[in-house]
Structure 1
Amino acid sequence: METSAIKDVILNTRKPVVLKNLDIPWNCFQQTLNDWLSCLDDSNASKSGFRFDCGSLRNGFRPQWERSRGTVNMSMINFYRDASTKHGHFKDNWASYSYRCIQELPKECRAGIDYGMFGFSDIGEDVSFWIGSEGAHTPCHYDTYGCNIVVQTHGRKSWLLFPPEAKLQRTRVPYEESSVYCEENFYSPAAYSSLIGVENDSYHVILEPGMVLVVPPKWWHYVETLECSVNFNTWIQLEIDTEEHISECLTRLIVQDYSKNLSAETLRHVFNPNELTKIDLPTSSDLQTTLQYLLDKQEYNKRQRQERSRYSSNYLSQNELEQLLSNNTNYIASVKKLDNHEFFCLMKTNSHRYDTSFNRSSDDEEENVQAENAINRACHPDQIQLMKNSLRV
């Protein structure tokens, strides 16, 4: 399949698709997972191991937010050995070393990784890698920017996806810049009742080594590792992202301003752990400067009608896209839409992990609930749009 055709599919597909049977010339595909992880261990000069996030294989009725997780230090080889045999720490827990830039990897581990074969040679090393054991997962969310390209190199991962209009309960708590979470728990649902309304819009695929998943903008996704796995991804910046950057900047201003007088405990409830380290940065003044830059940039883009660092999207008609897909069925497959029965069977399986002892009372403490409700009201898309409109008067 020609690179230009792959690029056109990525930038124009309205639904998630899988690219398959591609000859991806990355060195990691020539290595076993054991060899690749051993190479990563060898690069750890201190020999102190790697800090993994970890969580229980059982869970309560809320999503397993990052604030409820722990950490464990171990070598990559010990991680792989114990996770593969469900020995030691992995009898009751999962672990992940995720959302890391490939610049952390030794040259031997990242050799050949280049998104140029997909039509995006300018990506360079703006690529993330994800390592996880069985049960490691990310609560359901959507990314506010870009188009996501995921390359599975080792092991298998389950992706449950929903379109932007799916009837999911969005929340900005826990707050993370560029990620919007939903309240629904797909890891250990207590009952079907909390999920009724989304069963008609669910798509599911199990990514295996060599498969490439394209997630269109703002598609919700719940991702779970089925066995020890490694995958890489990047987000392609689109021309339409400037609008979302403005929305996210306004959201950050609201959340940061509201949080000034919150207790340390409630701050841990409101912010994802990776955001807590930068809670005082940038300052409101910095954010306002950024906001003005984005507004000026948006006006400039309207005049120029293009921007070199971002890509146009949806420039093919639906008929042109369908023709492109039908001409390349050996290399492209649409992600399967589940029927209601299949969706609820999947949720029934996941519900076996539900355990009432993991329902955390701290989530119900009055200050935490008040802060969450206030932030969600203030950051509702309609409110953000009103603010954006007023800035343009």
Structure 2
Amino acid sequence: MNRADRIIAAVKLQIGNRSKPFTSEEAYEIVMSLQQPAVFWSMASDWPALQWTVENLSWILDEKPIRFRLGSKKTETAFPLFENHCSFLEASMMQFLSWSQGLSDAVLGPFSSYPYSEFWAYADYKYIAMLFEDKKEHFKDVVWSDFGFPGRDGKDSTLWIGTEGANTPCHLDCYGCNLVLQVQGRPCQ
């Protein structure tokens, strides 16, 4: 069993244990030494950002306009639908929530032209510092110091929101490391 497999096995043993399985120093060492993706169970179980469901964000962000990318659920190609082949619109989180829940056209705003049964939507790479520019108290809802990055919080992060069918193709970012906190939904298989 290699080091990454041992780490993942150790993390999985902690499922159900609400305490953090690693200190921030241990988590940092693991993150910086991994050569493949890994899942850390329970490391963020006490983060306030776990309350950032679409419903909660609709209330927090109120009518703030957010740019969404839309794509057809019925594509004729096996390849990902990149940005240059998508439609874009600006809408509030409440309009997005109403659309994704199938509510009446009166509250959908710009989404009313896109039937939910035919389209997915994705608000990708939204800088939390810009989204919450007038609600800075939410920066501390993200606690990257738990992973050994002291002084980093939501201000240094991005937020990704999408419906079923929205995705980011597998890729490699050439800067540092990526840490992802999934708040709602499930990862693609």
Q: TM-score, normalised by structure 1?
A: 0.36
Any idea what the Cα deviations from partners look like across 1:57-94, whole Å, max 9, x if unmatched? Answer: 11132431210111123221121122134985212111
The whole-number CA distance in structure 1 between the counterparts of 2:84 and 2:29 is 39
Contact 2:53 2:183 in 1 (8 A): no
Greater fraction strand: 1
2:120 to 88, 94, 103: 94
**CA separation of 1:53/1:31 partners in 2, compared to 1, >3 Å: closer, same or farther?**
closer
What 5-or-longer segments of structure 1 have no aligned partner? Answer: 159-203, 205-393
Q: Distance in 1 between matches of 2:164 and 2:96?
A: 11
Over 6 Å off, 4+ runs: none
- Find the partner of 1:131 among 161, 180, 189: 161
CA distance in 1, matches of 2:35, 2:48: 31
Q: In the aligned structure 2, how far is the partner of 1:53 from the partner of 1:4?
A: 38
Residues 52 and 183, structure 2, Cα contact 8 Å, conserved in 1: no
Picking from 131, 141, 149, the partner of 2:171 is 141
Match of 1:54 among 64, 70, 80: 70
Could you say what secondary structure the match of 1:60 adopts? coil
Name which one, 1 or 2, has greater alpha-carbon Rg: 1
User: CA 1:95/1:31 → structure 2, altered by over 3 Å: closer, same or farther?
Assistant: closer
Superposed displacement of residue 29, structure 1: 1.9
| Structure 2 residues not aligned, in runs of 5+ | 1-21, 105-111
| Counterpart residue identity of residue 67, structure 2 | R
Distance in 1, matches of 2:172 and 2:52, equals 32
Secondary structure, counterpart of 2:171 in structure 1 = strand
1:26-41 correspondence to structure 2 within 5 Å = 26-30=47-51, 32-41=53-62
Distance 2:121 2:103 in 1: 11
TM-superposed deviation, 1:4: 1.4
Partner of 2:8: none
Distance 1:73-1:101 versus aligned 2 partners, 3 A rule? closer
Deviation of 1:31 after TM superposition, in Å, equals: 5.3
Q: Contact conserved, 2:67 with 2:88, CA < 8 A, in 1?
A: yes
Q: Which has the higher helix share?
A: 1
Q: Distance in 1 between matches of 2:52 and 2:122?
A: 20
Q: Of 63, 77, 96, which aligns to 1:79?
A: 96
Displacement, 1:149? 0.9
Note closer, same or farther for the CA distance 1:21–1:139 as it changes in structure 2 (3 Å cut): closer
Residues 320-378 of structure 1 deviation map (CA, whole Å, 9 limit, x = unaligned): xxxxxxxxxxxxxxxxxxxxxxxxxxxxxxxxxxxxxxxxxxxxxxxxxxxxxxxxxxx
For the 8 Å contact 1:115–1:123, the answer to whether it is kept is yes
Matches within 5 A, 1:142-181: 142-158=172-188
- Give the whole-Å Cα distance in 1 for the aligned partners of 2:76 and 2:119: 14
Quick check: 1:40–1:109 contact (8 Å CA) kept in 2?
no
Please report the TM-score for the alignment, with normalisation by the length of structure 2: 0.71
Specify the code of the residue in structure 1 equivalent to 2:89.
V
- Between 1:123-132 and 1:3-12, the stretch displaced more is 123-132
**Equivalent position of 1:5 in the other structure:** 26
SS in structure 2 at match of 1:52: strand
In 2, the alpha carbon distance for the partners of 1:95 and 1:23 equals 27
Question: CA RMSD for the aligned pairs?
Answer: 2.3
Determine the C-alpha separation between the residues in 1 that align with 2:103 and 2:30: 40
Match of 1:116 in 2: 145
- Distance in 2, matches of 1:127 and 1:52, equals 18
C-alpha distance in structure 1 between counterparts of 2:39 and 2:161, whole Å: 20
Q: Distance in 1 between matches of 2:161 and 2:80?
A: 20
Which amino acid is 2:86 matched to? R
Question: Which one of the candidate residues 40, 53, 57 is aligned to 1:19?
Answer: 40
Change in 2 beyond 3 A, CA 1:109/1:37: farther
**1:13-32 CA-partner distances (Å, limit 9, x unpaired):** 22221000235443232454
Q: Give the corresponding residue for 2:136.
A: 107
Assess if the C-alpha contact under 8 Å between 1:56 and 1:94 holds in 2.
yes
Q: Distance in 1 between matches of 2:181 and 2:121?
A: 20
Q: Is the 8 A contact 1:25 1:112 kept in 2?
A: no
Q: Percent same amino acid at aligned positions?
A: 29
